[in-house]
Structure 1
Amino acid sequence: MKYLGRLSETELEVMEVIWQKQEAVTVTTLLSKFADKDWKTSTMSTILKRLIEKGFLTKSMEGKVNYYEATITLEQYRRYETQSFLNRLYNGKAKNFITALVNDDELNQKDIAELREWFKHEKGEQ
């Protein structure tokens, strides 16, 4: 997957709306979804410009209206972020992350049993 910039919390909020829509959106559409934030057109346009620069959106124009469309799906983004997280903090190894969870008492015996069953199911042992 191509390199993508890191998303801020606000950018992620906007992308989640775009992913949910699953079609090209306009500034007006997005402003209506974020009416509670009282954002101005210029604020939304700046966020969208950053998302284009980071590789998450493309922009097209029909008449005088700009349409913004995601370049990757939410699932692709999750995989990208997961791998980035593992690379940055755990030498790219899921085992190192799980070990940290166990060592920090973040996983209890029930969690471990559920994971064990999940792994068995994924390997087709059930």
Structure 2
Amino acid sequence: MARKKSPTLTEAELRLMEVLWQRGEATVAEVVEALPKRLALAYSTVLTTMRILEQKGYVRHTEEGRAYVYHPLIDRNQARRSAVQYVVSRFFNNSPELLMLNILENEAIDADELERLKAMIKNAQEDGSEQL
């Protein structure tokens, strides 16, 4: 049975997207060259993954001569938002509050980070009250 497509990026897809975000565009050969040598990914593996990314709507290609040049359709921040929304809906019953409580209860957050979070929450509250 075929695996269900993930609405977010897999680890392998994310590695390729990082190359595209950094370069702005790249051929499959350029992506292979830009990846860490320890991964030793074959051209065909990268090509298959790029096609999957295109099917998922993360990239598009243009033809330049005989090569396809791949371009990201979403930026890193959009990918982050999508991943967080997916996690919140799947594991936290669509509740950002439950996600934040889980982080606060289970992650080591130093005093400086906590102060930055408090300031961000305060700013978000003030921005929200201005929109009412």
Fold match by TM threshold 0.5: yes
Normalization by structure 2: what TM-score?
A: 0.76
**8 Å contact from structure 2 (residues 60, 70) kept in 1:** yes
- Deviations 1:68-118, CA, capped at 9 Å, x for gaps: 1111111111111111111111122211112223344x2558354442233
Gaps of 5+ in 2: 1-5, 128-132
Which residue matches 1:85?
Answer: 87
2:130 match: none
TM superposition score normalised by structure 1: 0.80
**Aligned residues of 1:5 and 1:55 also touching (Cα < 8 A):** no
- Is residue 8–residue 82 contact of structure 2 (8 Å, CA) maintained in 1? no
Provide the aligned C-alpha RMSD in A. Answer: 2.2
Structure 1, gaps ≥5 residues long: none
Matches within 5 A, 1:13-92: 13-22=15-24, 24-34=25-35, 36=37, 37-92=39-94
- Amino-acid identity (%): 25
Q: 1:5: how far off?
A: 2.8
Structure 1 segments of 4+ aligned residues over 6 angstroms from their partners: none
Residues 87 and 46 from structure 1, CA distance in 2 versus in 1: closer, same or farther, beyond 3 angstroms?
A: same
In the comparison of the two structures, how many residue pairs are matched?
Answer: 119
